[in-house]
Structure 1
Amino acid sequence: MALDGIFLSKIKDELLREISFGRVEKVHQPSREELVIHLRGKNGAKKLFLSIRSNSPRIHLTEHAPENPAVPPMFCMLMRKKLLNAQLVDIRQSGLDRILYLDFNATNEIGDKIKLILSIEIMAKYSNIILFDGDGKIVDAIKRVDLSQSAVRQILPGFKYIAPPPQSKLNITDHTTENIIAQIKTFPSKSLSSAVLSTLQGASPLTCRELCGEFGELYTDEVSDKGFEYLSENLDSLRNIIMNEPGVPFMLKDETGKPVDFSFFPIKQYGDRYRTEIKSSFSELLDEFYYECDRLERTKQKGQDLVKLLNSAISRVSKKLSLRQAELAHCADREKLRINAELINANLYRLEKGALFYDLENYYDENKPIRIKADPSKSPSQNAQKYFKEYRKAKTAEQLLTGFIEESKQELAYLETVADSLERADTQAEIDEIRNELSLGGYVKKKRGTDKKSSKALPPIEYRTTDGFRVLVGRNNVQNDRLSLKTAAKNDMWLHTQKFPGSHVIIVSDNREISDEAIVEAAEIAAYHSKARDAKLVPVDYTYVKNLKKPQGAPYGKVIYHVYYSVNVTPDRDKINAKLSKVK
């Protein structure tokens, strides 16, 4: 569900309760499309998160503030200059438009009291964060818009702030149900849910479908009086929720625990397809819903060069592997070359130079007749030697290609594990460790001065099972090697997804017998920290650390084992992130 104007009104009410009259302590800009404002007020310290990403624009309080860049962007520096120590006095919304205005009482450079307004406009790819003063003069915007981008509305420092043009829709809080129904009926050629969407201000497609129920797919002029009565009742209920109730943060999740939709009122249109969870706040709901999507997007931005490099390397190695496998298939006919040579040698007494082919009996195949191509410029003996030479060449090529193919398979598997680690990286430090790993493997040139500024290695991710066992998870291949071969004790349990790239996972035994429950929970963690995290049933191998071996010359993260057991699990992100308490 897109964050619609009605949902935004509930966010506004929640923010007013939580951060109203709070003072700005810090301002951070994790990326070019995100802003985090730290406020302290009557409810303690809070982090206000604003995002204008085209696929997830929103505003809410957060517990998972993204990592900040080493050097703050210019817009962030300006925001600090203007808003530090400012007091948030009000949050406004024009009707049910997807725009919030945050009113601040601030102090300028000479100590005068001034009013500053920070607006967040949630409009997909046109979303923006704009700071302007009490006279409506724009101070700056996170995305500037000049005349070449818009002839209607320029957003530049010094320009007058003009709100986006309003849509010709009805605000449910300002109009009667009868007026709204009459407006809906002016769209006879649209389905009922589409007509509601074209009529109601601030309502998303999900909300409109829920309002229409089973009548939503009918054309408006086909809807019966009963259908409009049903819609009228739901419109009255929606108006009451907007004006008189705080709303309830509903989240829908699939069977793997992945969030798929959210709303401020119960959603029935999916039936039993998804399970419903009620969150403690709208901010918590949005924080969880968008976390994974934003994490992948940030990783893509921060490690864009590594993503491109890995994709290129994987493509190159895959192509090389395909070519070598094709060459190996061509070598499969080498025995035919040997047989041709031996048959010619066995019949030298009756063969003459100058023939284009030899018709002989194949004593390897019940003396069936065989025609062997010959070079007329060579003698029968020379033709036999030619076939022997081609046979030896093919045999040597097969031996070499078999080794080359195995090397290519290992390299491809290694690169896929690195790509998986990069996809799951949360912080710049994790991306830097992956970059260092690739430089050690010769895939990336090492930057000058990196040896002097060697940062402390990150610890493994740590969980704790319900019966108290510590579970350690490697963040990348270098850490996987260190965790499995140096950190772990011989009687600790090692786990890894079967045939999927993923992290090495260790259950720390502490000289205790590891329970079956702990193994299953650790297997779920291993599945979650792998390429198969969204799969329904994932096979996970487990064995004692003492059974692991590192082949000589093997890439980082590569171990072998022959004694092991397997368990099939379904990675449930809720269970992993909540029931199994994450330590680090």
Structure 2
Amino acid sequence: MPIDGLLLNKLIREAQIFEGEKIRNIYQPVNDEVLLQLQSGFLLFVLKNPSYLIKLESKPNMPDTPQNFSMFLRKRIKNAKIIKIEQLGLDRIGYIELSVIDETFELRNYKLYFELMGRNSNILLIDEENKIMDALKKGVSPKRSIMPGAKYIPFYKREYINILENENLYDLNQPFMGFSKISKNLFYEYIEKYDYISFVSEFLDNLNVYTFEYNGKKEILAFKPVNFKYDEFQNPSEGLLNFFELQSMNSRFLELKKRLEKTVIKEIEKYERLYKKLKNEEKEIREIPDLEKKGRLLQAYLYQFKEKTDFVVVEDWETGEKIKINLNPLKTPNENLQVIFKKVHKLKSKEIHLKERIKITKKMIDYLYQLWQSIDFVEDIETLMEIKEEMIQEKILQDKTKNKRRKRSNSKPYEFEFNGFKIFVGKNNIQNDKITREADREDIWMHAQGIPGAHVIIKTNKKEVPMEVLLFGAKLAAKYSKGRYSSKVSVDYTMKKHVWKPKGSKPGMVLYNNFKTLYVEPI
């Protein structure tokens, strides 16, 4: 449900506590948000859908470089005194009246209008002549111009009825000001159970807001939803924060997950292109013996060929066969011989490093697929932040907070209990390393064979692990692997003492031996 005019009324009344205070600073946390820092708190305007204003006790994270609109507002209204904060009727529009001494030491009176209308939301600074000084979103439409110097016309329909000022409310066809469809329906339920006078009295008497379930969705309302179970909050900002908390975390989680996944896929594509290139070079390396032989034969029979030609045919003295040697017709046979020797030397020099590069690149691809699998499986923001931290450490993701101390996440692995045995499953590479490193030597370590997946640890407590427990652990390893949709997955298991991490290996990457294999269906 969008934030309607009734809820905005209570948010504005709550914000009126800032009247008489000065604006200490102005920020833009993101492009469509404006934050006023006041003497006793913060006032945040969110200018996207849903749009609202909210009173905050502490400052949210800010970008290092201020954006243009916040810089303009700082120049014009920093240190301005708030005279009053008002709503226009019950609509989703209001203003903050300001008084400030400008750079010429003249007293100026401005109005900072906020239009909180979903995707059409805006915030504008208006001068004493009711002209637009600047706006977050500029544009021209048939009804009005939002450009500096234009006369400001509020996006406000005066003909709509303000229910706080009009008692003739029983005609359902009347256009009410500031109502959403849901709040209008619930308003009629309220006055049917009680009456209009009670509604107005209760509405104006407090700032309470209510969250409740409506058609399977969580909604927020500025008055009591009489036929629903609800949670009551004594101030609207607290209720709004509660209402948006899950939505905000989900949005942040999905946005970060998508960004990390996109980055990893891009890295996989890059390294797979490199791997393909190296494998093609490896094919050239296999040609060294043949190329050397042709070089020796051409050298032996060089005295027979003086003219430029595109090929020569010579006899292989080892087999007696005729060998055709293709040449560059623009070069002499002797020059072609030098080209062959140079190519052989170059390929032999490359051979020394090529195998190691192929090995390193293959390991990187395996690691990236493991990382991708971890991102795909992640279910909570804490684990996702650990993956982000890992990607920064591995130089896959750029660290934009080099000079800031990052708060380390401390998420926990999945924990299961089966027939008296505890089983841990890593949610990401950092956890995979941690649970494997901290396992006892006799604990059972499990992993899906040959595919990206989680490490699984069965805590043995030095007891023999029954087959049904091993099978359950194997099913978990299959479930939390790339093979989770397969009908059968091969899962290797061994004691932790047979698992080791090679020096310099990537997070989550280990080697193991003395293992057995189970074939299971994922849970």
Shorter-chain TM-score tier: 0.5 to 0.7
Q: Distance in 2 between matches of 1:301 and 1:463?
A: 19
Matches for 1:421-440 after TM superposition, within 5 Å:
424=381, 433=389, 435-437=391-393, 439-440=395-396
User: What is the aligned counterpart of 1:48 among 43, 60, 73?
Assistant: 43
Q: Distance in 1 between matches of 2:154 and 2:498?
A: 64
Matches for 1:303-452 after TM superposition, within 5 Å:
306=260, 308-310=262-264, 412=369, 414-418=371-375, 424=381, 433=389, 435-437=391-393, 439-440=395-396
Counterpart contact for 2:77–2:100, Cα < 8 Å: yes
Matched, 1:162 2:153: yes
Equivalent position SS for 2:145:
coil
Q: Distance in 2 between matches of 1:476 and 1:111?
A: 61
Amino acid across the alignment from 1:203: F
Which whole-Å deviations, capped at 9, do the CAs of 1:167-191 have from their partners, x for residues lacking one?
Answer: 6421112222xx3224x2xx4xxxx
Counterpart contact for 2:207–2:235, Cα < 8 Å: no
2:198 corresponds to which residue? 237
State the 1:93 CA deviation.
Answer: 1.0
Matched, 1:556 2:507: yes
Q: Distance in 1 between matches of 2:91 and 2:260?
A: 40
User: What is the aligned counterpart of 2:208 among 215, 229, 248?
Assistant: 248
Equivalent position SS for 1:92:
strand
Report the count of equivalent residues.
361
State TM-score, norm by structure 2.
0.57
Counterpart contact for 1:121–1:129, Cα < 8 Å: yes
Counterpart contact for 1:82–1:108, Cα < 8 Å: yes
Matched, 1:460 2:408: yes
Q: Distance in 2 between matches of 1:128 and 1:502?
A: 47
> Cα distance 1:136–1:432, how it changes in 2: closer, same or farther (>3 A)?
farther
Q: Distance in 1 between matches of 2:213 and 2:501?
A: 42
State the 1:423 CA deviation.
Answer: 7.6
State the 1:265 CA deviation.
Answer: 2.1
2:223 corresponds to which residue? 265
Q: Distance in 1 between matches of 2:118 and 2:92?
A: 10
Q: Distance in 1 between matches of 2:455 and 2:135?
A: 41
Equivalent position SS for 1:240:
helix
Which whole-Å deviations, capped at 9, do the CAs of 1:5-50 have from their partners, x for residues lacking one?
Answer: 111111111111x21211111221110001111101xxxx201111
Q: Distance in 2 between matches of 1:240 and 1:10?
A: 14
Which whole-Å deviations, capped at 9, do the CAs of 1:95-140 have from their partners, x for residues lacking one?
Answer: 1010120111112111111112111111111011111122212121
Matches for 1:76-91 after TM superposition, within 5 Å:
76-91=70-85
Q: Distance in 1 between matches of 2:244 and 2:88?
A: 25
1:171 corresponds to which residue? 162
> Cα distance 1:230–1:411, how it changes in 2: closer, same or farther (>3 A)?
same
2:233 corresponds to which residue? 279
Bigger-Rg structure (1/2): 2
> Cα distance 1:11–1:503, how it changes in 2: closer, same or farther (>3 A)?
farther
User: What is the aligned counterpart of 2:187 among 211, 223, 229?
Assistant: 211
| Unaligned stretches of 5+ residues in structure 2 | 272-363, 413-425, 442-452, 457-479, 481-495, 516-523
Counterpart contact for 1:422–1:431, Cα < 8 Å: no
> Cα distance 1:159–1:412, how it changes in 2: closer, same or farther (>3 A)?
same
Which whole-Å deviations, capped at 9, do the CAs of 1:410-434 have from their partners, x for residues lacking one?
Answer: 865531433676983799x989736
> Cα distance 1:112–1:211, how it changes in 2: closer, same or farther (>3 A)?
same
Aligned alpha-carbon RMSD (Å): 4.9
Q: Distance in 2 between matches of 1:502 and 1:134?
A: 65
Which whole-Å deviations, capped at 9, do the CAs of 1:71-112 have from their partners, x for residues lacking one?
Answer: 111111111112221111100111101012011111211111
| Unaligned stretches of 5+ residues in structure 1 | 188-197, 214-228, 318-406, 465-474, 492-500, 505-529, 531-545, 563-584
Q: Distance in 2 between matches of 1:75 and 1:485?
A: 51
> Cα distance 1:36–1:312, how it changes in 2: closer, same or farther (>3 A)?
same
Matched, 1:31 2:30: yes
Q: Distance in 2 between matches of 1:548 and 1:66?
A: 48
